[in-house]
Each structure stands twice: as structure tokens, then as C-alpha cells.
Amino acid sequence: MACEHYTKKARGLSLLSGGLDSQLAVCVLRDAGAEMEGVTFATPFFAPDAARKAAAALGITLHVVDFTDDEIALVKAPPHGFGGAMNPCIDCHATMIRRAGELMTQLGYDFVATGEVLNQRPMSQNRQSLGVVERSSGLAGRLVRPLCAQLLEPTIPEQEGLIDRSKLLGLSGRRREPQFELARKYGLTDYPSPAGGCKLTEKGFGRRLKDLMVHEGLDDRRLVELLNMARRFRLPDGTGVILGRDASENAALAKACSESDTLVAPVSVPGPTALIPKVCTPEGLDQAAGIVCAWSRFDNFSGDIKVKVVAGATTTERTIPRPYVRDPFLPFQIT
Ligand code: SF4
């Protein structure tokens, strides 16, 4: 009679971003005898769309975990610092693995897997970083990295014979050809570029995020979500102005406006809506109205532009005299 560990199928939960490596991890582990499901994370900084598509193509169940509070806490104070922008990758990755580990325990899986490749990314995937991530995730021994497992210590499910270690790979370095070859082998054709899709890696987004963190803070999720849209200004007195770039952004700003915000929009010409979150000084309001007019379409309009100002339950109208020029406001735009 066969021993239990030869007949029992390992059940694993793989972090699935939708990128090629995360899809390959699932394929390799299935070849090594494991039953796989996926877990992915959602925040205002990255969406689970690619993971959903990949899970459907792989035919696996996907668990989507709201990661916003975790990510905001890390952006405020990342124990291992940031990457090239406001991306706390080492801690973000370790926290995702920790959350996946919690799900693993809750749902009775044997291990968590990732598509990491040793030395693929100089900062976050060197041997030391992989060790830091494993230790800080609290999953020591139950974190399987099937694409480079042959270069790492055997994990508990490998030692227990639940996963066939000989089927795991020994990839290392930045060359992508081995992954492309594996993609052909497994018939994977649809995958976004590595590290794509996370706004925290974009320097411009990082500047807007930092500005929000310093002035209004990151506790209001509504304001964090608005970072994905609109032009933004920080005026000399500290007033923030979020300016819509098209009709859909104008509508979204109007919808997001709360009792404590101020909304400014032109009434006599087509133009953008401005949301001033929280504190709005008289000088700030004057300048916000100037910005709204300067970005309005007044070419065929010879009069002075009227704007409406909505603050709480009160709506007033103001006439803003010409000229309407953008140049004075450009130094305050956060790009
Ligand atoms: S790229 Fe974004 S989602 Fe990925 S580890 Fe870095 S911060 Fe987290």
C-alpha cells in the first residue's frame, strides 16, 4: 500500500498577478503534482483585471483580497523603504504573501507559491530579499517558488513528498527567453509586461500620492481613489485643487464631493470641474476659480466667465474677470 504522502495531492495557493511568471508558477506546480488555486489583491493602485483573465485562461479559482489598508499603511511607513518611486515592493510583496498565508491556513491549503525568479530584479529578487520576504511573511518552509526552487532550500511540501521537487525549475537572472519558451510549452499567449499595472511604480503618480499624504493624509479612501484621475495643483497657501480633464472626470469629482469639500465649475462656458478637498482658504478659492477659467473653453465667448461654488449645502455664483491664463498656475501643478 502506498504511503499517504505519495497519494495525497498537495493543495497550493499561488499569488497571481496575471504576469507570465505568476502563470508559469501555476503550470509548473500542476506538473509537479499540486492542485492549484490563485490569490490576487486589489487596491486603488492596481486592479485585479489581469489576474482574473489569467485565472480564467488557466481554469483555476481566484480569490481576490482587498489590500488597500495594507498598502496605505506600507506607503506611510515602509520598513524596507521604497523602490524607484513610491513603491514599497519588498514589504508589499511580503505582506501579500502573509495575507495569502492567512488564507492558506483558513482554507486548509498546504503551501503558498509565487512566480519569483532569483536575481530577476536586482533589488527585490536577490537571495537576501527573497529571504527577508520569506521570514517577514511568517511562512518559512511553506513558501514555494517553483521557477527557481532548485536553487533554494527544499520547502516543507517538497520534503514531505507532496510536491515532486524534480519537476521544479532552477531559473535565475534577467533573461526572459526561458520563460518565453515555457510559455510556448504551456500554450500561454496572453500576459502583461512584468511589473506593469502598479501605479506606485510610476514617478508622477508617486509625486501626487506624496502630496496627498503630506497635506490631506491617506485616511480618506475617496481622495486616494481620485489620484487616478485629473490634474492636480497645490497652491502656495496649501490649498489642493483637483481639476477634471473631461466630462467623465468632472462627473466623478462632483459625485465624490463631500460636505467638507468645495466644488467649483464654470456656468457660462464649457470647462472643467475643480474639487478642493477639505480646507479651502479665500485665496485658494480665488485661485481655484482662476484655474477653472484658464482651463475652460472660452474662445468664442467675449464676456466674463461665471463659476458656481458649491460648499456644503450652499451654492453661490461668482464672476471671474479676464484675463484667463494658465501660465501663473503651471508652477503649482503636480506632474
Ligand atoms: S509593484 Fe506594486 S503591487 Fe507589486 S510589489 Fe511593488 S508596490 Fe506591490
Tell me what the mean pLDDT of segment 265-293 comes to.
95
Q: Is the pLDDT of residue 260 over 50?
A: yes
CA of 82 to the centre of ligand 1 (A): 10
Atom of ligand 1 nearest to the CA of 199: 2
Q: Domain residues of the chain, as ranges?
A: 4-198, 229-332
Which of 201, 203, 209 should be mutated for ligand 1, with most atoms under 8 A from CB? 201
Atom of ligand 1 nearest to the CA of 201: 1
The CATH fold assigned to 4-198 is: Rossmann fold (3.40.50)
Instruction: Kindly state if the Cβ of 85 falls inside 6 Å of ligand 1.
Output: no
pLDDT digits (tens, 9 = 90+) for 115-131: 999 999 877 788 888 88
Q: Which of 11, 9, 7 is nearest to 106 (CA)?
A: 11
CA of 89 to the centre of ligand 1 (A): 5
Q: How many Å apart are CA 321 and CA 304, to the nearest integer?
A: 5
Q: List, in order, residues 6 or more apart from 240 with CB less than 8 Å away.
A: 211, 212, 215, 216, 232, 233, 234, 276, 277, 278
CB-based contact 59:52 (threshold 8 Å): no
Instruction: Kindly state if the Cβ of 195 falls inside 6 Å of ligand 1.
Output: yes
Atom 2 of ligand 1 has which residue's CA nearest to it?
Answer: 198
Atom of ligand 1 nearest to the CA of 92: 8
Q: Is the pLDDT of residue 325 over 90?
A: yes
Residue 196 confidence (pLDDT): 64
pLDDT digits (tens, 9 = 90+) for 80-100: 899 899 999 888 988 999 999
**Residue 129 vs residue 233, higher pLDDT:** 233
Q: Is the pLDDT of residue 288 over 60?
A: yes
Q: List, in order, residues 6 or more apart from 51 with CB less than 8 Å away.
A: 16, 17, 18, 22, 38, 40, 62, 64
Q: How many Å apart are CA 83 and CA 88, to the nearest integer?
A: 6
Q: How confident is the model at residue 245 (pLDDT cuts 50, 70, 90)?
A: very high
Which of 96, 198, 199 should be mutated for ligand 1, with most atoms under 8 A from CB? 198
Q: How confident is the model at residue 7 (pLDDT cuts 50, 70, 90)?
A: low
Instruction: Kindly state if the Cβ of 15 falls inside 6 Å of ligand 1.
Output: no
Tell me what the mean pLDDT of segment 212-238 comes to.
94
Q: Is the pLDDT of residue 252 over 70?
A: yes
Q: Is the pLDDT of residue 1 over 80?
A: no
Q: Is the pLDDT of residue 4 over 60?
A: no
Residue 225 confidence (pLDDT): 94
Percentage of the chain beyond pLDDT 90 is 83
CA of 17 to the centre of ligand 1 (A): 10
pLDDT digits (tens, 9 = 90+) for 173-213: 999 999 999 999 999 998 887 656 899 999 999 999 999 99
Burial of 155 (0-12, 13-18, 19+ CB in 10 A): buried
CB-based contact 309:289 (threshold 8 Å): yes
Torsion angle of C-alpha atoms 193, 37, 10, 101, degrees rounded to 10? 80
Which of 92, 95, 129, 136 should be mutated for ligand 1, with most atoms under 8 A from CB? 92
Average pLDDT in the chain:
93
Atom 6 of ligand 1 has which residue's CA nearest to it?
Answer: 89
Least confident of 4-13, 162-171, 181-190: 4-13
Instruction: Kindly state if the Cβ of 205 falls inside 6 Å of ligand 1.
Output: no
Residue 137 confidence (pLDDT): 82
Map residue 25 onto helix, strand or coil.
helix
Tell me what the mean pLDDT of segment 42-62 comes to.
95
Residue 110 confidence (pLDDT): 96
